[in-house]
Amino acid sequence: MGIGGCIGLIAIGAILTFAVDLELSGINVDLIGLIMMAVGMIGLTVYVTIFKRRRMQPPPPAAPVIEDHNYYH
C-alpha cells in the first residue's frame, strides 16, 4: 500500500466517522471509520520510515591511504 492508499484510507475513514449518519443493525459505522483512519495513519508512518531509510545516502568512503616510499641509496 503506497502513500496514496494510506491517505485514501484516512479520508474514507474520516468521511465515515464525521459525515455519514447511517444506522445499521450490528455495525457501528463510526468505529469502522476510526479503525480505517488508524490503519491509514499506521500505514503512512511505516511507509514514510521505510522510504526515509531507503533514501539515506551512505557515508562517503574515506580517502585512500597513499604510502610514498622514497628510498635513497
Domain ranges (residues) in the chain: 3-55
| Amino acid identity, position 19 | A
Residue 69 is predicted with a pLDDT of 74
Task: Give the pLDDT band of residue 41 (cuts 50, 70, 90).
Answer: very high
**Average confidence score pLDDT of the chain:** 85
> What contacts 24+ positions apart, CB below 8 Å, involve 4-11?
5/43, 6/40, 6/41, 6/43, 6/44, 6/47, 7/40, 7/44, 8/40, 9/36, 9/37, 9/39, 9/40, 9/43, 10/36, 10/37, 10/40, 10/41, 10/44
pTM of the model: 0.67
